[in-house]
């Protein structure tokens, strides 16, 4: 317990040492005229700030409305390469027309789509 107390005192001494060496802030003196004070008060008044924000909001709303009113262009493009026409495979129907039986062991025949 005694060791923990000594350790805590050392740590707090090290931590507080950093705060003891901070310099005092420099004091600045300003001189304003009455007109400067009045202008500053008008510029930083809450109602003036809110009015300026309302003006900016109205400008953005105008831009948004103009943007929705302008014509918009949408488009898509697709390409299908049919150098070789697509085809399907199946049993030989000419042989089926002659014999009336489809043999499952016969090789499949290619049937092209479209003009050959």
- Which pLDDT does position 94 carry in this prediction? 82
pLDDT tens-digit map of 49-63? 899 999 999 999 999
Contact 91, 110 (CB under 8 A): no
Average pLDDT over residues 28-41: 89
- Which pLDDT does position 97 carry in this prediction? 82
Res 20 pLDDT > 70: no
DSSP 46: H
Res 73 pLDDT > 90: no
Sign of the torsion angle spanned by Cα atoms 85, 87, 93, 95: positive
- Which pLDDT does position 76 carry in this prediction? 93
Predicted TM-score of the model (pTM): 0.34
- Which pLDDT does position 13 carry in this prediction? 66
Res 33 pLDDT > 80: yes
Give the pLDDT band of residue 98 (cuts 50, 70, 90): confident
Contact 108, 90 (CB under 8 A): yes
DSSP assignment of 60-97, as one string? HHHHHHHHHHS------------SSPPEEEE--HHHHH
pLDDT tens-digit map of 78-96? 987 777 777 888 888 888 8
Q: In the chain, pLDDT over 90 holds for what percent of residues?
A: 21
């Amino acid at each position: 317990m005694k060791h923990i107390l000594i350790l805590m005192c050392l740590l707090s001494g090290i931590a507080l040492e950093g705060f003891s060496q901070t310099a005092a802030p420099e004091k600045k003196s300003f001189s304003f005229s009455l007109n400067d004070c009045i202008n500053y008060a008008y510029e930083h008044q809450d109602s003036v700030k809110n009015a300026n924000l309302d003006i900016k909001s109205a400008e953005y709303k105008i831009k948004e409305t103009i943007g929705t009113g302008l014509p918009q262009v949408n488009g898509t493009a697709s390409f299908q390469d049919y150098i070789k026409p697509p085809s399907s495979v199946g049993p030989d129907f000419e042989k089926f027309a002659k014999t009336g039986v489809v043999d499952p062991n016969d090789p499949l025949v290619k049937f092209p789509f479209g003009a050959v």
